[in-house]
Structure 1
Amino acid sequence: MTAPLYPILYDDLVRAALKEDLGLAGDLTSDACVPAYARARALFRARRDGVVAGLAASLHAFTLLDPGLEIRVERTDGTRVAAGDTIAVVEGAARPILSAERTALNLLGRLCGIASETRTLVDAIAGTGAYIVCTRKTTPGLRALEKYAVRVGGGNNHRFALDDAVLIKDNHLVAAGGLRPAVERARAHVGHMVKIEVEVDTLAQLEELLRLDVDAVLLDNMDTDTLREAVRMVDGRLITEASGGVTPETVRAVAETGVTLISLGWLTHSVKNFDVGLDFEPA
């Protein structure tokens, strides 16, 4: 079970999204058409099968506009839902519910989409021992929520930012003057709690890397035969990560090569939005 996020991690984001939508004059349509005394009951309903994620952050949009709204959660984060299932119910003054609707749906649709796709991939590699992980290819401002959604879907997180691990990639190697100087400088610079991972494109690079003091290797854009040989060469000495070009159709074959991790940037940067609606009923 994934631990929920502290509200402080998404409060500013939700406030900014509401301010963006309300502009300088507020919700002209709702204020003009709906009496101040009108009440409503609104139901979040799934319109396809999937996994719920980000519900607290989504519902926060309503409480920011009206703390007096009554909210009831029917399906918690991590729950599988089918098309037609009610996820949550919001009841109270109609105007703030209408004004927060799009912000809430935008967040919920995106995060449920990530969690649902992650769960599909995790199920696809079940029994192989490999883990699905996300990357830093996240929507600006949404990283904490999107990485949370990956965890809700059963996946794991790669590093969160530039300051929590060392990942030496091809451009670093060019700028540093090669593999050995890059790794030796990194090891001398960071503390004992910081992991060092290096990206390699060939088995020759991997052979050189295995003589250096690192913790993990990113095997970039390798086919399954090359991945399998790379895993054999590493022989358990390093964490092995396969990355690049992995799809739902190929993820099982990649996992069966014996790699530890499979990282997918598209899991957060271009996943399909989950179809969820907010249906009003007169209160």
Structure 2
Amino acid sequence: MDTKYLAPLALLLPGMTLLGVFMLVPIAYGLYLSVHQFDGINLGAFVGLSNYLSVLSDASFLSALGHTAEFAAIVVVGKNVVGLALAVLVNMPLKGMRTARTVLFLPVTLNIIVIGAFWQFFLASSRFGGPLNLFLASVGLGHWQTSWLSAPGIALVSVAFIEIWRWAGLHMLIFLAGMQAIEPSLYEAARLEGANAWQRFRAITLPALRPILFVSTLLALMGAFVRSFDIVWVLTRAGFGTDVVVTRLYNEAFQFGRFDRASAMGYVIFVIIAVISFIYVRAAKFGRDDA
């Protein structure tokens, strides 16, 4: 081996070692466990694909997968729409926009326990002093009062909207960075041609933000599938129709002690995410014919 490669390889070695020990080895071991009987302590016989077949025929897992798809649809659309709208707002040359950016980004920095405590209080029933339900009653909309975090069919949507509120500031900054990279002369030329604000946004801003939208959508999609555990668990403990695939996996392992099925479930989720990501990447193509 050429000695000029020794120094770069030596610099890469610590990072690659950590990657192998803390990522590649656990991934390989999890795959090994998924094809064996394993209760968390005792490793049993080789069972082949039976754990995978059991997971794919499990009604509770399929139900959680449906909840995840619904949650993801709301979150992906919401994060992008709200994030883009906020980016347009804070990009305006108005006084106080720097402060507004900071305030809008604050939910991203909050601890999940703080977020859960606030929203459980805010969405509590009027009997327990929930501000939202009390407000609805005070303005004559008492018939809209409901148990926002404990009513099946409503709880999942409520959690999704809280997830949008939590991460909209991050997506706002992603879009804002893309908007500030657009050449100002394009807008000046459009103004000279008589284009109004909406026409400038549609003809200049949106096309320029297509790569940013791709990244933002992919982040939101991955977050909905693999980062939804904390918000769901803190707000509803995965009850009331809010059980998603990651909470299902957690319960499978730590409530029922079926670590073998949980390992198989993790790989099923991985394959689903990989397929969705591949299809999305191929469908997006960034508007290129050679993608």
Tell me: higher relative CO, structure 1 or 2? Use CA pairs within 8 A at least 6 residues apart: 2
Normalising by structure 2, we get a TM-score of 0.23
**Larger helix share, 1 or 2:** 2
Normalising by structure 1, we get a TM-score of 0.24
Larger radius of gyration between Structure 1 and Structure 2: 2
